[in-house]
Structure 1
Amino acid sequence: MAVRLFEDKKHAAAYLQYRVAPQELISRMMSYMEKKTPKQFNLAVDVGCGSGQGTTLLAPYFTKVVGTDISPAQLEMALASSKPPNVSYRQCPAEELPFASGKVDLVTAMTAAHWFDCQRFLKEADRVLRPGGCLALVSYTMDMELEYGDVSSALNDICKEFYAALLPFRNPYLGSSSERIYLNMFDSCSYPDKEWNEKLLVKRTMPLSGYIGMVETFSSYQKLQQKDPAEAERLSNDIRNKLLSTMNVSSPDTEVTVVVKYFYWLTCKP
């Protein structure tokens, strides 16, 4: 199943503004590659790159990094952002990558592979990877948590209300968690050298409004917004006000720690 989402320009801009760039995951990928393969870090391809937050993090490690995405709006945001000189972008489907066979050192997809035609993508990744090249697929669970003083537990009860309200608008293909899709891809990968990892907690300090903005980039929230804009706004405002009240503050610019729960798998082509 290949799905096209995140193509509205306003949504793409929000995606760039609010999504977390997982530097910790890049470090894990590179440590794995350095153990598994000779240091031929020439070309990395970030598939489903969106607005390029993860793509640019690969730049220090490779001679050339190419981000690919099917969405012109997302790539427009990526190109408008500052980027290292060795980073470029191409528009294409994840299942049809514009690279010669056996020429890519790393293929990665960060919080994107669940929207691909999984088996076609794995076959295409195998085609473009050189022997000894690596594949790294990364995503996170929807249940992000907040830390703030001694009210973290109460805040997370409110966050669960937010996620529960959005669950009916989640794509049925994903189910309650996309982790199952990644496990199925992991199991179907024929490479003998592979490893599954969960959960890596990534913490970021941001304004409370940033957390709300991040949830609003979720496909489930976008679907609610398309169906009933007033209800989507009411839900966001209600959750924001409950969080502010629990924190005993009035400004949504008050900083909180957002905890994102990543899972990922890594493999090396024989």
Structure 2
Amino acid sequence: MKDLFSDNSSLYQQARPSYSAEIIEQIMLHVAENALAWDCGAGSGQFTGWLAPYFQQVLATDLSAAQLAQAPKLENVIYQAASAEESGLDDHSVDLVTVAQAIHWFDFDAFYAEVKRVLKPQGCLAVIGYGLIEASDLRLDQLIQHLYKVTLKGYWDAERRYVDECYQSIPFPFEEQSVPALQLKYSWTGQQLLDYFQTWSGLKHYVQLTGLNPLAEMAEFLQQQPQQCYEVQFPVLLRIGQ
């Protein structure tokens, strides 16, 4: 499992999308008991907070202690630095395992072996993610597409393709449940958009290798109307297995 997000963890926590009630409600339709959930690759707790009201206890793990330090402090949540392949949980002790926007970095075989070890017989795995941001403003959407597909081409880690393929190409050795199409929708300022793009791993690689600012054209466009909010959305990637 790679750790690409320890640097500037506070920006990641602030700028990344949250999730939604619709996502957790869909997942909970398939959960038999609510004693313990394991949120793996929890980062700064974007999805952990959605789990906490539904479970007696939540274990949130991540390779990055710096990321976990940014997560919300919740009474029934334990944060622990651990790999996806070695949770430290007891055999058949977990009702739900979740992975939000992280599974594409995992060693699939090793992680799934750990999931099958810790899940109860009626336990459930939910893999959650979101695809490329889309904007209703045509010019902004063109700039996003150009940034992602042209400027940063060749700077993304190979694992990013699993997101581009909507998680449909990841192995998924579980009895899969049907889920509806969902989206995350936001109204973001130009600064929120720029902060979000700064968290992209491909953008970080580009800056490190070239020393150039790939957001210059985007920033120039957004600064024309600094108070404007832009309607954006992310397609939700959701696979649920038992």
Judge same fold: TM > 0.5, yes or no. yes
Deviation at 1:258, TM superposition (A): 1.8
Map 1:228-243; keep pairs closer than 5 Å: 228-229=210-211, 231-232=212-213, 235-243=214-222
| Structure 1: tracts of 5 or more residues without a match | none
Map 1:12-23; keep pairs closer than 5 Å: 12-23=9-20
Whole-angstrom distance in 2 between the partners of 1:25 and 1:140 = 11
User: Equivalent residue of 2:148, what SS?
Assistant: helix
Partner of 1:123: 113
Partner of 2:88: 98
Partner of 1:136: 126
* Contact 2:85/2:114 (8 A) holds in 1: yes
Whole-angstrom distance in 2 between the partners of 1:13 and 1:198 = 32
| Structure 2: tracts of 5 or more residues without a match | none
Partner of 1:218: 200
Q: Give the structure-2-normalised TM-score.
A: 0.91
Whole-angstrom distance in 1 between the partners of 2:164 and 2:116 = 22
Map 1:151-190; keep pairs closer than 5 Å: 152-164=137-149, 165-175=151-161, 177-179=163-165, 182-186=168-172, 189=173
For this pair of structures, how many residues does the alignment match? 240
Partner of 1:264: 238
- Percent identity, aligned pairs only, is 30
Whole-angstrom distance in 1 between the partners of 2:164 and 2:3 = 16
Within the candidate set 54, 57, 60, 1:61 is matched to 54
Deviation at 1:206, TM superposition (A): 2.1
Higher helix share: 1
Deviations 1:197-247 (A, max 9, x none): 574211012212112211210110111122234x12xx21311222454xx
Q: Specify the code of the residue in structure 1 equivalent to 2:100.
A: M
Higher mean C-alpha deviation, range 176-185 or range 119-128? 176-185
Q: Specify the code of the residue in structure 1 equivalent to 2:15.
A: Y
Partner of 2:6: 7
Return closer, same or farther for 1:201/1:172 CA change in 2, 3 Å cut-off. Answer: same
Whole-angstrom distance in 1 between the partners of 2:17 and 2:181 = 16
Return closer, same or farther for 1:3/1:178 CA change in 2, 3 Å cut-off. Answer: farther
Partner of 1:145: 134
